[in-house]
């Protein structure tokens, strides 16, 4: 099974790193660097198996993106907070993210983390 991921992040370097990590595990992905344009891809949301959302972004933050996504995606699509701001972990959990992976990605653990998240486990990791 090929994993289809959505990346929502305003930082091009962060997007590229996550794309490389996803490529390394054979996943496909779509990236959105302007979260205010989320409505443009809403009809494609059911196609995604996992969604990674940065939290601190200008104009529309990750919590607003989360609210928009929760209103649109099926319940079994995990929405993962993916941020360098590890102090946001408890807030992300309280706001309804399904998991939290801190930046930078630990490539040695990434495949296992994604598999665990897709299996329904909630991860709150700041390796």
pTM flag (> 0.85) = yes
Q: What is the pLDDT of residue 73?
A: 75
- Domain membership flag for residue 56: no
Residue 45 reports pLDDT greater than 80: no
Q: What is the pLDDT of residue 127?
A: 64
Q: How many domains does the chain have?
A: 1
Can you give the residue range of the structural domain that contains 12? 4-51+62-125
- Domain membership flag for residue 57: no
The mean predicted confidence, pLDDT, of the chain is 92
DSSP string spanning 55-88? Answer: S--SSS-HHHHHHHHHHHS-TTS-EEEEES-GGG
CATH of the domain at 85: 3.40.50.2300
What is the per-residue pLDDT across 74-123, written as a single tens digit (0 to 9) for each? Answer: 778 999 999 999 999 999 999 999 999 999 999 999 999 999 999 999 99
């Amino acid at each position: 099974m090929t994993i289809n991921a959505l990346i929502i992040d305003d930082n091009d370097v962060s997007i590229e790193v996550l794309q490389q990590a996803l490529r390394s595990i054979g996943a496909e992905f779509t990236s959105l660097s302007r979260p205010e344009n989320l409505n443009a891809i809403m009809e494609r949301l059911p196609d995604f198996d996992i969604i990674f959302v940065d939290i601190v972004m200008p104009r529309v933050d990750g919590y607003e993106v989360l609210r928009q996504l929760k209103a649109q995606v099926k319940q079994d699509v995990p929405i993962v907070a993916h941020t360098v701001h590890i102090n946001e972990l408890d807030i992300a959990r309280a706001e309804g993210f399904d998991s939290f992976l801190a930046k930078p990605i630990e490539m040695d653990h990434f495949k296992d983390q994604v598999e665990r998240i897709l299996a329904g486990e909630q991860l709150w990791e700041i390796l």
